[in-house]
Chains A and B, each alone.
Chain A
Amino acid sequence: MAAASLRATPLNSVHRALGAKLVDFGGWEMPVQYSGIVEEHQAVRTGVGLFDVSHMGEIEIRGSEAQTLADFVTTNHVARLQIGQAQYAGLLYSHGGFADDILLHKLTSDHYFLSVNATNQQKDFEHIRGLNRFDARVDLTSDHYAQLAIQGPQARATLQKLTPVELSRIRYYWFVDTTLDGSPARIAHTGYTGEDGYEIYVAPEVAERIWNRVLDAGEEFSIKPCGLGARNTLRLEARMALYGHEIDASISPWEAGLDWIVKLDKGDFAGREALLEQKQKGVRRQLVGFEMRGRGIARDGYEVWLDGAPAGWVTSGSPSPTLNKSIGLCYLPAGAAGIGRTIQILVRGQLVDAVTVETPFYRRAR
């Protein structure tokens, strides 16, 4: 069924052997589910789940002015990072729209490691290189890494069996370069599920062995291999943005509610001027969460109506396995994006009531 042109991760045959349902995800053949989205989702909320996210891209910036370049191409404050710290940031075009959202890791004072979205990696690489007028080198190194995510309240106990590093000492949004089952690995205390967990980067050659070791280590916690389906419902409950949905080239961080990753006072950076101007004028639309009141499920791209007329669109919508409700995120005119407002979603030709709510929809107990 898969077209020959689809790219595969180093774990493709493992997914097949596990009976995963494979789909074309932006040109990659990826598992959307193994046992079922709801079961996998619950495994991450209550135990531990393992994801292959090797389709994600890696870009590295090196050189004496690596930090200057990293600060110039991202919205967050790179100079404030310590070695071993990671940071979520936007990569913006000069007009203030997103080229991508990324995770930046400071390896040394002259070496930064960026984890970027799969479908954007080539574009990001060219974007960063195009803005590089510094003493820095930019490399697209995706082929050097497989990436796995181990997520859930039992993620630490699972991974701890395989590494000499005391994982409880890696704070949230910090990482270490260490070993996993004897092989070099970067273990980052980050995730995209709203649950505690880790994202690990290893050589593609050892990916299959590490995958199997993690499954063995998590067996006592009923670990489950999880696909992109559960990854999406998990991140939506936690209100994490997905490129191509909540954010894209036409959306600014202000509109997406990502003000916290923009540091206007850090000096010049790509998109800063446009963001300043938007801030003065005020944004036209804002991202807001909603819950369905009537029967029906809002899906990505559905129209949102206000007072009898179309006013916005759904960026992500899904049943929420944790909350047992149908939830979603949508763009509404800025003045209308308050909480507790009744809106309507055009669900397959019928207007169905929904109400705007506070987000995240789900927040883990700490």
Chain B
Amino acid sequence: MSIYPKNFRYTREHEWVRVDGNTVTIGITDHAQQELGDIVFVDLPKTGTRVEQGGTLGSVESVKAVSDVYAPVSGEVIEINQALATAPEKLNADPHGEAWLVKMRLSATKELERLLSAADYQAYIGAEK
């Protein structure tokens, strides 16, 4: 069984998106946390911030490296995962669940079509190696 939920959409920059009506939850993929290693710092935008698809949403830092997080879709940030400020290591443990990064109000549903399915994303990271 795949660790990449079928009901998520994915980006080539290793973010995932879960759609609930007009709201999306965004996180980084298991592949991303594995590549980064021990995550020690998460920088997220303030609620109310408006971001364009592909714009910088924040950053995730491991002991060794820093990596930007890009917005998979355009919209307004309505909630951030406060728990990550004090427990960034949750991103290593549960990147597709408890350690989501932000929730956004979607401004253009059409943008979701550009994202990858779970199968396509897995093929993509397989090919990347």
- State which residues 26-60 of B face A: CB under 8 Å: 37-38, 40-41, 43, 59
Residue of A nearest to B129 (CB): A1
Confirm or deny: B63 has a beta carbon within 8 angstroms of a beta carbon on chain A: yes
Confirm or deny: A296 has a beta carbon within 8 angstroms of a beta carbon on chain B: yes
A297 near B37: Cβ-Cβ < 8 Å: no
Contact among A21, A295, A321, A348 for B63, CB-based, below 8 A: A321
B41: chain A residues at CB < 8 Å are: 295-297, 319, 326
In addition to A32-B64, A36-B38, A295-B41, 20 A-B residue pairs with Cβ atoms within 8 Å of each other are: A21-B37, A33-B37, A36-B37, A37-B37, A37-B64, A39-B38, A229-B64, A233-B63, A295-B43, A296-B43, A297-B40, A297-B41, A297-B66, A318-B64, A319-B40, A319-B41, A319-B61, A319-B63, A348-B59, A348-B66
Residue of A nearest to B65 (CB): A299
Chain A, interface SS category: mixed
Tell me the bound Cα distance from A299 to B67 in angstroms. 12
Could you give 25 example pairs across A and B, Cβ below 8 Å? A21-B37, A32-B37, A32-B64, A33-B64, A37-B37, A37-B38, A37-B62, A38-B63, A39-B38, A229-B37, A229-B64, A232-B64, A295-B41, A295-B43, A296-B41, A296-B43, A297-B40, A297-B41, A297-B61, A297-B66, A299-B66, A318-B63, A319-B63, A326-B41, A348-B59
Interface residues on B, range: 10 to 19
Residue of B nearest to A233 (CB): B63
Tell me the bound Cα distance from A33 to B64 in angstroms. 10
A33: chain B residues at CB < 8 Å are: 37, 64
B62: chain A residues at CB < 8 Å are: 37
Tell me the bound Cα distance from A37 to B41 in angstroms. 15
Tell me the bound Cα distance from A295 to B64 in angstroms. 17
B64: chain A residues at CB < 8 Å are: 32-33, 37, 229, 232, 318
Tell me the bound Cα distance from A240 to B129 in angstroms. 34
Residues of B within 8 A of A (CB): 37-38, 40-41, 43, 59, 61-64, 66, 129
Tell me the bound Cα distance from A299 to B41 in angstroms. 13
B61: chain A residues at CB < 8 Å are: 297, 319
B40: chain A residues at CB < 8 Å are: 297, 319
If A1-B129, A33-B37 touch, whether A229 touches B66 (CB-CB below 8 Å) is no
